[in-house]
Amino acid sequence: MADLKEIIARRVARELKDGDVVNLGIGLPTMVANFLPEGVNIVLQSENGIMGMGPAAEPGKEDVDIINAGAQYVTVNPGAMFFDSATSFGIIRGGHVDATILGALEVDQVGNLANWIVPGKMVPGMGGAMDLVVGAKKVIVAMLHTQKGKHKILDSCTLPYTAINVVDMIVTEMGVMEVTPEGIVLTEINEDYTVEQVQEATQCKLIISPSLKKMEY
């Protein structure tokens, strides 16, 4: 089996369309840009004030003045723009980001998202996630299905919310799920798993799509 995180990143990349303005969260979501289908070019936006961000900088070739919102050294593509945070968040809040791809600690059956804090632990903070999930046209959660055997897709989130009723799609190594008013619908399944295994790894009751298909990545 391929690397689980790579499977997720490859499948998420298939959701993006040529010309999309996309914001990638830290961690696993940053891998998505490496697996864009041929002919699909996206514009990466970073909430600290970059439009047209490129790949991570190679070791030894970092420009100390160019970092993403996670303080990682990155590159920029020809034509990239730099602007202040007020402008950046105006772009986000104004609905100009086509998709945001985020990791999550927990997601629940109505699309509530918890991805910024575990009580009692030191964390860097919410960053731009709260704005992105309400401003972006599509919110995709890219994450491993469970955490050390514990459910992450729940009846109801137990951790503090980032935002409520915002998640549109969940992509894990097991499959693709869409959040609907009726609940979470399993629309694609990784052929390495059974429906029963996916349900066992999910706390809330999944709705199995009548047109369930193989997960392509």
Contact 43, 52 (CB under 8 A): yes
- Which pair of structure tokens corresponds to residue 205? 């009751």
Distance separating alpha carbons of residues 133 and 141, to the nearest angstrom: 10
Active site residue 196: no
Kind of pairing between the strands at 21-24 and 99-102: parallel
**Catalytic position from the list 6, 15, 38, 47:** 47
Distance separating alpha carbons of residues 96 and 102, to the nearest angstrom: 17
Contact 114, 102 (CB under 8 A): no
Contact 48, 85 (CB under 8 A): yes
Q: Which residues are catalytic?
A: 47
